[in-house]
Chain A
Amino acid sequence: MSNNKSLGLAHLNRRAMLSGTAAALAAPYIVASARAEAPPVNVGVILPLSGPNAQFGINSRNGIELIADEINTAGGIAELGGAKINLVMADATSTPTTAGTVAQRLITQQDMTAVLGAFASSLTIAISEVTERRDIPLLTMSFADQITGRGFKNIFQVVAKASVIGKAQFEYTAAIAQAAGAKIEKIAIMYEDTAYGTAQANGLRAGAKAANVEVVMDDAYPLGITDTTPLINKLRGSGAQAVFPVSYLNDSLLIIRTMRQQKLTIPAIGGAAGYVIPDFEKGLGEFAENVLSIDTSNYDLAPELTERFRKRFGYFMVHEALEHAVCLEVLVQAIKKAKSAKAEAVTAALRGAKFTGGWINGMTGGAVAFDQTGLNVLSVPLMVQWRGKDIVTVWPKDIAKSAPVWRS
């Protein structure tokens, strides 16, 4: 045993010596290149690039790459001598345990200034356990309340919390119905049972309770469901006047299709995610028309920015792409403010600060300001509605681009 150990050490020493020599030989070149170019800022990007949430991971990655490329071609971060942003991508898959492991590996292998990700709340929560231990800032657009509700020091959530989003999902709907002369008395809630769906359903319940509206159906279902018929059978029997499904993509398609099969035409008000990406319309065609969904930002509020995305990727800038771009924008501004790419310095610059300009103009509230928990207190949810191949902001009234259509 001890013999083995000493052998290992000898091996290590030899290797260390060799690499030391190599470094010494290469030193003049390293110095030379450092003069020409500042060391890049490593930003970890952990997203679900495979599994049931892959589509959202790809959308988010596109948003981040767009703005990273823009900054790099414009000469990098001037405050750090023109340092380029080096995105280090990792696939979180769609399983929280894997996401945690991937985060661990990413951080161990390279010095990270910050980590961005991971769209799905359950993945973000798993990753945040790792980044918190290592004191690396994690910027996210995931919704769950838990994200900023655990007293973590290194987490920053640029959008409103799921409970707030869920409450708005109900309250905006009630307001839109009222404006159209309809009154909602019974609603149904169905949600996928991960951190995101559960938290948002809490908000929906709270909103309904406050408005004295009866929740006649309240069902969770597993992520990756392949048959929603039992849910829709139940919905049909419940007598609900509106349904609030909180789902990712596959389940959102199944729910709307099965509702149409059973000739259920009550309004469905989606909970963002699966309801606000181009694939929703691609999968449903005409049945997507006028479907409402809550959202945390929308591309039509800042077309001058988001058209750059459409031009490069060929589809509208979905909210996860926009908000991930905002995460990177905020991060870069914090780096500039701190004049350092050190994780601790960047965290200090982020905490309690207010950021404006650039991609942040795409957010509701027009700025990003983190409170002591790391939550952006300025973000307000909004309601969007499908019109052809686009989604249009229809509520709240002061920012709406078009009047909502309500058909009960």
Chain B
Amino acid sequence: MSFLQAILDGLLIGGVYAVISIGLTLVYGVMGIVNFAQAEFLTIGMFVAWFAWAFLGLDPVLAAPLSFAVAFAIGWVVQGQLIARVLSAPSVAQIFLTVGVLIVIENGSLLLFGSQFRSVTTSYQTMSLSLGALFVSVPYLIAFSMSLACGIALWWFMRASWFGRAMRATAQNPSAARLMGIDTELMYKIAFALGVGLTAFGGAVILPYVTVFPGVGGQFVVLMFTVVVLGGLGSVAGAVVGGLAVGVIQALSSLFFPIQLQNLVLFIVFILVLAVRPQGLIGASR
């Protein structure tokens, strides 16, 4: 029973890992840039949702679209004004730029909001559903469902909408895409803004069970990279598989080992997977 419970908890947590990591893989997949500042947009999303809760009385889950919108706008500007300049620069320049953005956002939020923890109080925070002998945590379930909905919306956008097709075309071959009349600059802006927006969305939905402070992104950044590399860098489906896998591995490991070794077990599995399949669980098919 505890085994089933662990798998269930792992899947619920993993769904959220997936949605915050999709953004990272999307940006890499379309633009070939590794955005080290990605986790900071999680922090931004959480802060937006917190302020919406504190001043507008909005439930963080309902504030998630607002978090998405704010991060989308910031992402649009960051891409247009900063990232666009280093798209064809050496990758060292790209790394420095995104790390710089990371430092600016983290310290900017420290200046603006101070370093204290902010947590929300919601009615469902301490509720759970009983499934036989299994407990389904309501905040985890809500976060998972929101992530799932968000993932499906993204999948539809990428598959069925003109913008999605144009974005995939840009990822495949930017020159050919331009020849077909696609504004690749615009596509890059949408891809980046969408990517950071998704991460911010994930930040808002986890707010009922994670307190926000300027350094909170740092607690997730390594996990995010693990998720996308495990799944296959650049692959959206890979991020989903990777996210669920990371959640389940963490939960199962705590059944057999002390919880402190959770990430040790995770990284041993991670190294083994990469040794056998360097391209990740789902190949890097963009």
Contacts and interface: CB of A to CB of B under 8 A. Distances in A.
B121 A282 contact: yes
B138 A230 contact: no
Contacts of A406: none
A139 to B, nearest CB: 23
A229 B5 CA distance: 10
A261 B138 contact: yes
Contacts of A49: 115
Interface string B134-155: 0101111000000000000000
A263 interface: yes
Contact of A230 (B125, B126, B251): B251
Contact of B6 (A193, A233, A262): A233
Given A226-B220, A233-B2, 8 more contacts: A52-B215, A226-B210, A230-B254, A231-B259, A233-B5, A249-B211, A250-B119, A257-B126
Contacts, number: 98
B260 interface: yes
Interface stretch (A67-75, A120-128, A216-224, A379-387): A216-224
Contact of A261 (B2, B6, B119, B137): B137
B244 to A, nearest CB: 15
Contact of B209 (A224, A257, A279, A287): A257
Interface in A96-140: none
B173 interface: no
A10 interface: no
A225 interface: yes
A220 B9 contact: no
A262 B211 contact: no
Nearest to B128: A261
B210 to A, nearest CB: 6
A188 B66 CA distance: 42
Contacts of A282: 119, 121
A279 B117 contact: yes
B163 to A, nearest CB: 34
Given A54-B115, A226-B210, A226-B219, A221 B259 contact: yes
Interface of A: 49-52, 54-55, 57-58, 193, 219-222, 224-227, 229-231, 233-234, 237, 249-250, 253-254, 257-258, 260-263, 279, 282-285, 287
B271 interface: no
15 contacts: A49-B115, A52-B213, A54-B115, A55-B116, A221-B260, A229-B137, A229-B140, A230-B6, A231-B254, A233-B9, A253-B119, A260-B126, A263-B128, A263-B135, A282-B119
Secondary structure type dominating chain A contacts = helix
Contacts of A229: 9, 13, 137, 140, 251
Contact of B260 (A55, A222, A250): A222
Given A51-B215, A263-B128, A58 B115 contact: yes
A49 B213 CA distance: 12
A234 B1 CA distance: 12
B258 interface: yes
B127 interface: yes
Contacts of B127: 261
B23 interface: no
Given A50-B214, A51-B115, A233-B9, A258 B137 contact: yes
Interface of B: 2, 5-6, 9, 13, 110, 114-117, 119, 121, 125-128, 135, 137-140, 209-211, 213-215, 219-220, 250-251, 254-255, 258-260, 262
B117 A50 contact: no
A263 B214 CA distance: 32
A174 B213 CA distance: 37
B117 A54 contact: yes
A15 to B, nearest CB: 32
Given A229-B137, A282-B121, A285-B121, A250 B115 contact: no
Contacts of A254: 209
Contact of A279 (B119, B126, B128): B119
A105 B251 CA distance: 42
B260 A193 contact: yes
A285 B123 CA distance: 10
A226 B117 CA distance: 13
B110 A50 contact: yes
Contacts of B137: 229, 258, 261
Contacts of B215: 50-52
A253 B211 contact: yes
Among B114, B211, B214, residue most surrounded by chain A Cβ atoms (within 10 Å): B211
Contacts of A234: 254
B135 A262 contact: yes
Contacts of B2: 233, 237
A58 B255 contact: no
A77 B145 CA distance: 62
A263 B128 CA distance: 8
Contacts of A55: 115-117
Contacts of B115: 49-51, 54-55, 57-58
Contacts of A257: 125-126, 209
Contacts of B211: 249-250, 253, 283
Among B110, B117, B220, residue most surrounded by chain A Cβ atoms (within 10 Å): B117
